[in-house]
Every structure is written in structure tokens, then in C-alpha cells.
Amino acid sequence: MMGNKKNLPKEYTFRHNLNGYLLIAPALLAILALSIYPLLQGIAISFLNYDMTRSNAPNFGTFVGLRNYAVIFANPKYIQSVSNSVVWTLVNLAAQVGLALVVALVLNERLRGRGLFRTVALLPWAIPAAISALTFSALYDTKIGIFNVILLELGVIEAPVSWLGNISTAMPAVIVANIWKSTPFLMIFILAALQGVSHDMYESASIDGAGKVKRFFYITMPNIKEPMAVAVILNAISIFNNFNAIWLLTKGGPLNSTEIMYTYAYRQAFVDHKFGYAAAVSVIIFLVIAVLTVIYVKMIGADKDGR
């Protein structure tokens, strides 16, 4: 091993690259201080009795092993939050992928004013989450909300519906709001992939008599499936991580019907002040995100190898 190090080219030695290491040192220190240390501290707290409402108790801050994790999986509210997280992620993902694909295909056509349409399609994503939440709160309002006004005029409903205050409608209402806000993010990825498909392939297929449907399944999808798969995984991580959409509209209510794992962890930490328990929930969330991230990284690697 020592011989191998001595035989390294000069440009690979530590001394030759010392200036480069010094330049990235502040960034590395910032990552250690703002990311790695809090992560390790959070994992450590998850094994402690860290209930701030009982800070005077003699066992406060003591090591409790896996007790916090055992309590988590025995709590029906947590199980409900897991179930809600699955529904929230899958429904959002399916709807966003379908809608983003349709919009991207339309905006990829040679339309007059295509640049303007692309800009307008991006506006929901550019609007801050707080403004988006306030907008949909007004749209869902039982008195002045446009949804209730239209449905009442059409005779679909007989009385105004409390979309965000009803157990059966709260989750669909929040999902609709998030679809509107987040779909442009995925649409941009798909549109970028479509830009890489040669128009010569479409022209050749048209000459051979292939219609739009065949061109979509035999030319478009095979050419965008890999970058689209990467974008879908990245979007799944973003949806699972989306705390603002639910907290700003319903705060996990009513009766925990929109409580997902992120809002549940936040509530345990900053509302109930059970930091040890909340840290354990956060570690579980971290593991889920880690799995999705590994899949994402492997997909990126496979995509590069394929090219």
C-alpha cells in the first residue's frame, strides 16, 4: 500500500491539491455543523427519555433504549399517520405524473405562444407555499369559496361543504391543492426529456403511417422512460417530505385524517414537547427517505451508464 501511494501521480497527492482542500473546508465544516451533527444528535435523543413536559422527573434525559420506538408502533395515531402518508404520496404521485406528462406533451408541440404557455404552467410552482395555502383556504371556504358556489349553482350539492373540516373530504382537498402546486416541478423534468427526442424519428414514423398513439408508445415513452423514472423517484421524495401543504391547510386535522408522518413528528416535538419520542419518529422518516434516495442515486447511475 505504501508503494502504491508513493507511485501516485503528482496531481493526485494531498500536497498538490492542498489549496483545493482549503477552499472546500468551509463548506465541509458547514455541512458537519448544520447537517451531520444535528442528525447524530437527533438519533442520540431518540434513545433518551426527553419529554420536556416532565423535565423535573428523576429519569429525564436517561437512556431508555428502544422504548420510544416500541411506543411509536403501539400508537394507533402513528399507524394512521403512516397510512395517510402512503395515501398522500401514492395519490399525489400518480396524479402528478399523469397530469405532468399530458401538459409536457402539449407544451412540447409547436404552438403559437408556446413560451408564454410554459411560463404560465410554471407559475403554481413559483408561488410561495404560504400564499398557495391561503388561496386554497379561500377557495374551499364554506361561504365565499368558489368550489361551493359553483357546485351549489350546478345543483351538485344542496348545502356548502366544509372541505377542509370534513374527515371524508379533507385529504382529497389537500391533495388537490398540492397537485396544483407541485405538478409543474415534474412537468419540467418530463419536458426536458421530450426535448431530447429527435423530431426526425417522429417524421420517419409518420411517413411509415404511424399515428400519434403509436408514436407515443413506440418512440416517446422508450426515449423518456429512464429520465422520467428518475424524476418520478425524486418527486416521490419531495411529496413524502412535503410538510407545508398539509400543515398550512389543516395542521393534520380534522381528527388526524390528514396527519402524515412529518406533521406527526412536528406535533410531538413542538406542540407536545416530547422530543425523544419525536426524534424516534424522525429517525424512521430518515430511514424511509434514505431508501428512496438510494433508489434515486442508483437510477441516476444506471441512466449515465446507459448513455
246-254, Cβ contacts within 8 angstroms, sequence gap of 24 or more: 246/88, 246/174, 248/129, 248/130, 248/133, 248/134, 249/133, 249/136, 249/137, 249/164, 249/173, 249/174, 249/177, 250/164, 250/170, 250/174, 252/81, 253/170, 254/165, 254/166, 254/167, 254/170
Q: What is the mean pLDDT of residues 190-200?
A: 87
Residue 160's φ and ψ, nearest 5 degrees, are -55, 140
Start-end of H helices in 32-128: 37-45, 67-73, 76-107, 114-126
pLDDT of amino acid 198: 82
Residue type, 5: K
- Provide the whole-model pTM: 0.87
* Mean pLDDT estimate for the chain: 89
Q: Is the pLDDT of residue 2 over 60?
A: no
Grid cell, residue 4, equals: 502504491
Could you tell me the residue ranges of all domains in the chain? 2-32, 46-306
pLDDT digits (tens, 9 = 90+) for 218-265: 888 988 988 888 888 889 999 998 999 999 999 999 999 999 999 999
Q: Is the pLDDT of residue 195 over 80?
A: yes
Q: Is the pLDDT of residue 281 over 90?
A: yes
pLDDT of amino acid 226: 86
pLDDT digits (tens, 9 = 90+) for 141-183: 998 899 999 999 999 999 999 999 999 999 999 999 999 999 9
pLDDT of amino acid 3: 47
The label of the residue with cell 407544451 reads 107
Q: What is the mean pLDDT of residues 113-128?
A: 89
pLDDT of amino acid 35: 87
Q: What is the mean pLDDT of residues 39-56?
A: 92
Q: Which is more confident, 214 or 305?
A: 214
- Rounded to whole angstroms, how far apart are CA atoms 146 and 140? 7
Reduced to 3 states, what is the DSSP secondary structure of residue 222? helix
pLDDT digits (tens, 9 = 90+) for 50-64: 999 888 888 898 999
Length of the chain: 307
pLDDT of amino acid 307: 55
Q: What is the mean pLDDT of residues 125-135?
A: 93
The second-level CATH assignment, the architecture, of 46-306 is: Orthogonal Bundle (1.10)
H-run or E-run covering 185: helix 167-195
